[in-house]
Chains A and B, each alone.
Chain A
Amino acid sequence: MIELIGFGAAIVVVASAVLAVSARDARAGIVGLTLASVTTVVIADPLPDPIALAFRVVAALFAGFLLWVTIRETDARTGSTALGWPAEAMAAGAAFAIGLAPSLLETERAGPDAALAAGFALIILSVVPVVFARDAFRLGMGLLLLLDGAALLRIGIAGTPTPLEQLTLGILAIGVAGATSVVALNAFAVSGTLEVGIAPGPEDER
């Protein structure tokens, strides 16, 4: 039963992440990101300690709220994926399938397969925003997805994190979201857009 719940949650995570990276409206992206982060927490077998679980959920909601506030005060437009959501969904699905492959790691694992699969999918989805993001919001969203994916990989391989680890992971997510807000607000103050200009290319050479 828990496996089925975990599998369903993993699909929700991946679908939400696809929404997050594909949305042109940052508000939709935040909804997807928050949903993915919240759902990530429950993909574990056994489920984390209730307090740790609650903290991770609150941390994910707070991270989303920080980004929401940023968007509310600046600009809700963000750079969407150039490939379109079907391409992103297919890439994520492929990564998900690879993660489910039982022979991927020829070894015993302590965590559920669904976590590994969702972790791979999130990491794949986060690569483009992290490397090629031109605006702060998209960069921060990619970084949060990357951290969620890494945390899922950790759950899938090493099992449910300890409460202390859950605590630090939640703090890390809040910190990244807060730092993203700071960068985004300053970028908006400078240029009137969320552009940060760190994507590779000629612009980077300024």
Chain B
Amino acid sequence: MTVLAFLAITFGAGAAGLLTRRRPPVSIAIGLVGLAAALVSALLVSPGDRLVVGESALVATDFMHLFIVFGTVAALALCVMALAADAWQRNLSSAMLLGLGALALGLALADPVAGLAATVAAGLPGVLVAITTPVDARGVRSAARELRAVAVTGAFALVAAALVSGPSGLVNLPTTVVGLAYLAMALAVAVRIGAIPFHTRVARVTGSAPTAALPLLLALAPAGFASAALVWIDGNIATTALPLDAERAVIIVVGLLCLLLGVLAATIQDDIEHVVGYSVIQDAGFVLLALAVFDSQVWEPARTWLLIYVVTKSAFAGWALAMRASFGTSRIGELSGWIRRAPLLAVTLGVIVAATVGIPSLLVFDVRSQIATLALGSPLALLAIVGGLASLLYYGRLARVGIGPVAPLVAAYPGVRPRGRGWAQAGASGRAGAAGDEGRAGAAPDVPGSTVAVAATAEARAAEGQGREAPLARERPVRRAGRGAEPLSLDLDGIAPAGDADEGSPAQGAAGPAVDAPPTSAAAFDAAERPVVEDDTPGPIGAADPTPAAGASPSAGVDAGPEDADGLVAATDARPGDADAGTDDVTPAFLLPPSGRGPTPGPRSGRAPRESLDAERPPSVRGPRIDQLRRDPKELTQAWAREALERAGLAPPSSGGTAADAAEAPIVEPVGTGAASARADAPRTEGTRADAPSPRAAGAGRLSGPTTGAPGEAAAAGGVAVGADDRPVSAAGGGASRTARSTPRSRRSPRAAGSDPDRSSAAAVLWEANRLLVLSVLALGLSLLGLAAAAGAFGVSEAARAQAPSPGGEIVLPGDLGGEPTGPDVTDPGAGSSPSDVASFPPEATPVP
């Protein structure tokens, strides 16, 4: 029953989270509460619990117990980190919950084929998070590959299980058939974990999926399936005692390839997420080696390795997430000196290294050595052991970069402790432009002397990507950014002049002024006017207003969000293809800094007809103001900018009289971040964001408040940084702006109402420090959990040892051990309940005639 409670919580909360995803705060709350409840439920699962379901049963084992506990802890930590890093993907918690539920079901089912099918199904929720938010073609391709891998894995597993399924399968099995079944199952595992040569899917996923989702996609679900496959192989193939040397050799070769080439690939990557991905592939090599061993002595180390693998890879992904959120980049070349600025993250990486590589007395080292020895024998085992230790190469590279000279982006890192006013400035601005990177976190630098250079680098990146943004070929500029992009000198002083703008092309993301971005296709325009199709699908980007665009603004700093169909500038630091920025990357209001609180992501915009959206607008932003903005966006937006700068203390008060005067002005609840184009060298005010260029927002200034319905017009309004305080970029979609405008003046934030800006900025700074602290501490906590598991805490070895398969692959509970064997033609593997018994298995393995 305890397993049933876990299943009910995970499936229930996961489904509820998906159903409420149109209301991100509710969905996030459901997801987090569901994960917390699932963790409690997982802790309460009592091994040995059995629930009979028809002819089969759900049985809780120690291994399953630890697996779901580790998985739930990792999922909860990563979700909180994603929130803190503004890297939330709206399906993240739901996918985690559904995946965990399916994994628990698969590991608890005594029916081997049903268990395999359930663990395969655990990979399907990954499709929800593999699609990047905001959606782009790259994310769609990754999701399609993920879907294909999951389904093909399931087909292979079904076929293999059909060929050899204990009493219900074939009898009098020829060796060839058993070998084929064995190979089919090993192939399924190899495809699922992304082993070389099936690794391209992993590489693509790491390049596009949110960092917080990587453990689910690459470690958790594949490890669950590998565990079920191990049980099946140990119970159905190993017990036949047939000579399958050729098949084993093939699997060993693939495992060694993973070990050696995975290290090589991880070492030469320029991107932390790719390092994480290839490190997963490398560590999965030991899983394949374990599949190649029929000796029951491998049972314990193989399953122990799976448990450690899940936690350590989650911790590594969490560290990568924290790094990206802290420094605003994941490119290793731009992280020089990171250890000097983030010692806590350095400690975290050290713990991860210790938990992954281990030392000879540590459990993790021992289990790897055992697997290698059992699979390869001496002296080839040394090759695998060295291959495992070779992961020090890429970890060492990260460390070497970390102790180098401090790079500009790293210099902007505020640390987790206040260092006075200068830090406060950096801290408050460091978050500008954060997030929105397809679910990945980012932060902007703001260091005197480096700001312009960094912004210019981003601008150079953006320019590098111009003209290459076809609907199906949009790439993220940050990905294709040349490492050698020369910093340029930008004059970002003052309000960027208005100019002709592109029509909100999808290419016009944070890449800045998408001068050469092609106009949105006619099909997209057509589709833009369609009713909302499905919440998961962002509308054809920026296509609500088919008014043809007239070029693009040369000014650095216009980001007409693609979801601007309702006349709102959903200005995020979105990059090309940020079609869904308005709703997908959402940080709930209650998690925002106090000064940025208020705007709440609203329903999607961008595909509904403008008329209906006009009707939804509050009276304050309907009618003449919108008309005026359409007529003269430049004047109005400049007025708004002036107003914001005045509130931020960056400009002397004016006597008003502009179109944005107090009586009529929309609430410019600070929405703006990434105010790159506002100015880079203006005097700074503590906590202000107006002077914080973001790498991605360097060409993507933030425009807040209502503006024309045409994204192109929004772009034409110039890169005006209205937001004077912080808000997560990704949360500032159209819905956010809508909410901001609907806020009554009397309910303005203190700063907006003209209160002491220092107070608000102090709160923002406090939040900033807390945010980074939360990220660092959570990453450290996950890594410590991994280290504890790697050291043998929590009874990892005992749990792994108890996962003894019975003939037919069924899991034998400790209470069943020593009972009557259920298989017709194999010895009793249930004797593997104790180490000595396991060592003696199979004592008299009977080959199937």
Alpha-carbon distance between A153 and B161 when the two chains are bound, in angstroms: 10
With a cutoff of 8 Å between Cβ atoms, the chain B residues found around residue A168 in the complex are 109, 113-114, 117-118, 121
Could you tell me which residues of chain B, from 104 to 149, have a CB within 8 Å of some CB in chain A?
Answer: 109, 111, 113-114, 117-118, 120-121, 124, 127-128, 131, 135-137, 139-141, 143-145, 147-148
12 further contact pairs, Cβ within 8 A, besides A162-B55, A182-B131: A107-B171, A130-B148, A139-B147, A146-B151, A150-B158, A154-B162, A168-B114, A176-B124, A183-B143, A185-B534, A189-B579, A198-B145
A105, A130, A165: the one within 8 Å of B177 (CB): A105
Give residues in B with beta carbon < 8 Å to A: 53-56, 109, 111, 113-114, 117-118, 120-121, 124, 127-128, 131, 135-137, 139-141, 143-145, 147-148, 150-152, 154-156, 158-159, 161-163, 165, 168-174, 177, 471-475, 506, 521, 523-524, 526-527, 533-534, 536-541, 577, 579
List 5 tightest A-B contacts by C-beta distance, closest first: A192-B523, A154-B162, A189-B537, A143-B151, A168-B117
Interface flags, A139-155, vs B, CB<8A=1, else 0: 11001101101110111
A-B contact pairs, 15 of them (CB 8 A): A73-B533, A105-B170, A110-B169, A143-B147, A158-B168, A164-B56, A168-B113, A171-B118, A172-B124, A181-B534, A182-B128, A188-B537, A190-B471, A190-B506, A206-B475
Residues B540 and A189 in contact, CB atoms below 8 Å apart: yes
- Point out the residues of chain B lying under 8 angstroms from A179, CB to CB: 124, 127-128, 143, 147, 150
Contact of B136 among A151, A183, A190 (CB under 8 A): A190
Q: Quick check: is A167 within 8 A (CB to CB) of the other chain?
A: yes
Q: Which residues of B lie under 8 Å from residue A154 when comparing CB positions?
A: 113, 158-159, 161-162, 165
Q: A187 and B165: CB pair below 8 A? A: no
Residue picked from B147, B174, B524, most chain A C-beta under 10 Å: B147
Q: Within A149-206, which residues are at the interface with B (CB < 8 Å)? A: 149-151, 153-159, 161-165, 167-169, 171-172, 175-176, 178-183, 185-193, 195-198, 206
| Per-residue interface assignment for chain A, residues 116 to 148, with 1 indicating a CB less than 8 Å from any chain B CB and 0 otherwise | 000000010000001000001001100110110
Shortest Cβ distance from B184 into A: residue? A150
Q: For the complex, what is the distance from the CA of A202 to the CA of B65, rounded to whole Å?
A: 46
Q: Mark A94-116, 1 if CB is under 8 A from B, else 0.
A: 00000000000111111000000
Nearest-neighbor residue (CB-CB) of B126 within chain A: A179
A150 touches B537 (CB 8 A): no
- Name the CB-closest residue of A to B116: A168
Q: Which residue from A157, A163, A172 sits with its C-beta under 8 Å from B54?
A: A163
* A74 at the binding interface (Cβ < 8 Å): yes
- Cβ contact within 8 Å between A185 and B54: no
Q: Does A182 lie within 8 Å of B473, measured CB to CB?
A: no
Q: How far is the CA of A188 from the CA of B472 in the complex (A)?
A: 10
Alpha-carbon gap, A180 to B148, bound state (A): 10
Residue of A nearest to B166 (CB): A158
Known: A150-B162, A172-B121, A176-B124. A189 touches B147 (CB 8 A): no
Contact between B121 and A183, CB atoms less than 8 A apart:
no
Q: How far is the CB of A184 from chain B (nearest CB, A)?
A: 9
- Expressed in whole angstroms, the minimum distance between the Cβ of A167 and any Cβ of chain B is 7
Most chain A beta carbons < 10 A, residue from B55, B131, B161, B171: B131
Q: Are B170 and A107 in contact (CB under 8 A)?
A: yes
Contact check, A164 vs B53: say whether CB atoms are below 8 A apart: yes
Chain A residues, Cβ within 8 Å of B579: 189-190
Would you call A192 and B114 a contact (CB within 8 A)? Answer: no
Partner of B471, one of A136, A140, A191, A196: A191
Contact present for B117 and A192 (CB under 8 Å): no
- Does the CB pair B540–A107 fall under 8 Å? no
Instruction: Find chain B residues with CB under 8 A from A140 CB.
Output: 147
Q: What is the distance, in angstroms, from A145's C-beta to the closest C-beta of chain B? A: 10
In the bound complex, CA of A153 to CA of B120 (Å): 18
- Docked CA distance A108–B506 (Å): 60
Q: How many Å lie between the Cα of A171 and that of B114 in the bound state?
A: 11
Residue with the greatest number of chain B CB neighbours at <10 A, chosen from A168, A181, A187: A168
- Minimal beta-carbon separation of A142 from chain B (angstroms): 9
A187 and B533 contact, Cβ closer than 8 Å, known pairs A106-B174, A172-B117, A192-B524: no
Q: Which residue of A lies closest to B156 (CB)?
A: A150
Alpha-carbon separation in the docked complex, A151 to B154 (Å)? 10
Bound form: Cα–Cα A132–B204 in Å: 18
Q: Which of A157, A183, A192, A197 contacts B169 (CB 8 A)?
A: A157
Contact A143:B148 (CB < 8 A) given known A108-B172, A150-B162, A197-B141: yes
Chain B residues, Cβ within 8 Å of A144:
151
Query: Across the interface, which residues of A come within 8 angstroms of B526, CB to CB?
Result: 192
Residue of B nearest to A140 (CB): B147
Q: Give bound CA distance, A110 to B167, whole Å.
A: 10
Question: Do B113 and A186 have beta carbons less than 8 Å apart?
Answer: no
| Cα-based distance from A158 to B166 in the complex (angstroms) | 9
- Check if B135 sits within 8 Å of A189, measured CB to CB: yes
Q: Among B55, B158, B170, B538, which residue has its beta carbon within 8 angstroms of that of A151?
A: B158
Contact among B143, B162, B473 for A186, CB-based, below 8 A: B143
Please give, as numbers and ranges, the residues of chain A lying within 8 Å of B474 by CB-CB distance: 190
Q: Which residues of A contact B521 (CB under 8 A)?
A: 192
Quick check: A150 and B155 within 8 Å, CB to CB? yes
CB distance from B222 to the nearest CB of A (A): 16
Docked-complex contact B527 and A192, CB < 8 angstroms = yes
Q: Would B114 and A165 count as touching, CB distance under 8 A?
A: yes
Chain A residues lying within 8 Å of B143, measured Cβ to Cβ, are 179, 182-183, 186
Residues facing B in A56-97 (CB within 8 A) are 73-74
Contacting pair A110 B533 (CB below 8 A)? no
**Residue contact A196 to B111, C-beta cutoff 8 Å:** no
- Whether the Cβ atoms of B170 and A108 lie closer than 8 Å is yes
Residue of A whose beta carbon sits closest to that of B128: A182
Q: Which residue of A lies closest to B539 (CB)?
A: A189
Judge whether B538 and A189 touch: CB under 8 Å.
Answer: yes
A164 to B170, CA, bound (A): 20
Bound: A186/B171 CA distance, A: 47
- Nearest chain A CB to B567's CB is how many angstroms away? 20
How far, in whole Å, are A157 and B177 apart by their CA atoms in the complex? 12
**Most chain B beta carbons < 10 A, residue from A154, A157, A175, A189:** A189
A143 and B156 alpha carbons, distance in the complex (Å): 12
Residues in chain B near residue A153, CB distance under 8 A: 158-159, 162
* Cβ–Cβ contact A196 & B141, under 8 A: yes
**Which chain A residue has the least Cβ–Cβ distance from B130?**
A183
Question: Is A197 touching B114 in the complex (CB atoms < 8 A)?
Answer: no
User: In the bound complex, do residue B155 and residue A183 qualify as a contact, i.e. CB atoms below 8 Å apart?
Assistant: no
B165 proximity list for chain A (CB < 8 A): 154, 158
Residues of B within 8 A of A206 (CB): 472-473, 475
Interface residue from A157, A190, A196 paired with B162 (Cβ < 8 Å) = A157
Q: Which residues of A contact B168 (CB under 8 A)?
A: 110, 158-159
Q: Are B162 and A158 in contact (CB under 8 A)?
A: yes
Select which of B111, B137, B537 is within 8 A of A185 by beta carbon.
B537
A161 to B168, CA, bound (A): 9
- Specify which of B139, B144, B540, B541 is in contact with A139 (CB 8 Å cutoff): B144
Bound: A186/B289 CA distance, A: 38
Would B120 and A172 count as touching, CB distance under 8 A?
A: yes
Contact A164 B114 (CB under 8 A): yes
Q: Which residues of A contact B524 (CB under 8 A)?
A: 192
Determine the chain B residues whose CB is within 8 A of the CB of A188 once the complex forms.
Answer: 527, 533, 537
CB distance B523 to A186 under 8 Å? no
Please name the residue on chain B nearest to A108 by beta carbon: B171
B154–A197 CB distance below 8 A? no
The docked-state distance in angstroms from the alpha carbon of A165 to that of B540 is 41
Interfacial chain A residues near B161, Cβ < 8 Å: 154, 158
A147, B55: Cβ atoms closer than 8 Å = no
Flag if A146 contacts B169 (CB, 8 Å): no
Bound CA–CA A17/B159 (angstroms): 19
| Given A154-B162, A186-B139, A191-B472, A162 and B151 contact (CB-CB distance below 8 Å) | no
Q: Name A143's closest neighbour in chain B (CB-CB).
A: B151
Judge whether A107 and B147 touch: CB under 8 Å.
no
Q: Would A165 and B111 count as touching, CB distance under 8 A?
A: yes
CA distance A182 to B139 in the complex (A): 12
Q: Is the CB of A196 within 8 A of B174?
A: no
Evaluate contact between B121 and A171: CB separation under 8 angstroms. yes
CB-defined contacts of A183 to chain B, threshold 8 Å: 127, 131, 140, 143-144, 147
